[in-house]
Amino acid sequence: MRDGRLFSALSQDTFPVMSHAGQGNYNLLESSVSDSCSRPRPPELSFKLSKFPGSKMPLPLGKLVFLSSVVASGSCTLIYYLTQKAFSKASYYQLALEQLHRRPEALEALGPPLRVHDLRLTDQCNFVDIADAQLKIPVSGSKSEGHLYVSSSRGAPFQRWHLQEVFLELKDGQQIPVFKPSGDTDGEGGKQ
C-alpha cells in the first residue's frame, strides 16, 4: 500500500509533505528511500524527477568543461586583442610608423600598399618597460616584406618617448635605415 501511494504521489509531480510533528508522510518517504535502492525506478518517474523545476542539480561535467573552455578561450582572445590595440596606440609605435612613411626608399622597397601586421607577442624582440621600448613590427607590401625594428626611450615615466633608432630589415636581409637621432627628420628628433 505504501509503495502504491508513493508512486501515485510522485507520478503527479507532487511530493508528500512531512507534518510538523514528524509523523504522517515522513515514514512513507523513509521507507521509499530504502525500497528505491533495491529496485530500479520506472523510466517515466526518473525522467520527470530530472526535469523538476527548481532542481539544484549541478551541471554535468561535460557541460562544465565545455563552458569553462569557451570562457577561457574568449578571455584569451580578448586579452590578445586589447594588448595589440594598446601597442598600436603607443607613441613609440606611432612615431616609428611616421618615420617609415617619411622614407620613400623604404616604402619603395616594400611596394605599395604598405600593410602593418600584428606584433608577435611571444617574440623576445618586443620588450617594453618604464624607460625603454624595443619592437619588431611586421610590415609588408606588394614587392617584399620585413620587420621594422624600433628602439625608443624616455627619461622617466609620464615623459615623452624619443626614438633612438628605427630600421627596416627586409626578408632578403637588406637593412634600410629609417631613423637615427644624429640624422635628419626635420629637426624633430622623434619627439611627440
Alpha-carbon gap, residue 155 to 60, rounded angstroms? 56
Give the type of residue at 14: T
40 within domain boundaries:
yes
Closest CA to 108 of 24, 6, 178: 178
Q: Is 185 inside any structural domain?
A: no
Instruction: Kindly state whether residues 113 and 70 are assigned to the same domain.
Output: no
Other CB atoms within 10 Å distance of the CB of residue 177: 13
pTM over 0.85: no
| pLDDT tens across the length of the chain (192 residues) | 455 554 444 445 444 444 444 444 444 444 444 444 555 655 554 444 444 456 566 668 888 889 999 999 999 999 989 988 988 899 999 999 999 999 999 999 999 999 999 999 888 889 999 999 999 999 999 999 999 999 999 998 889 999 999 999 999 999 999 998 864 444 344 443
Q: In this structure, are 132 and 96 located in the same domain? A: yes
Distances (CA, A) of 169 to 121, 159, 166: 19, 29, 10
112 and 80 share one domain: no
Q: How many CB atoms lie within 10 A of CB 8?
A: 10
Pairing of strands 127-128, 132-140: antiparallel
Same domain for 146 and 115: yes
| Same domain membership, residue 126 and residue 76 | no
Domain of residue 8 covers: 2-50
**Does any domain span residue 145?**
yes
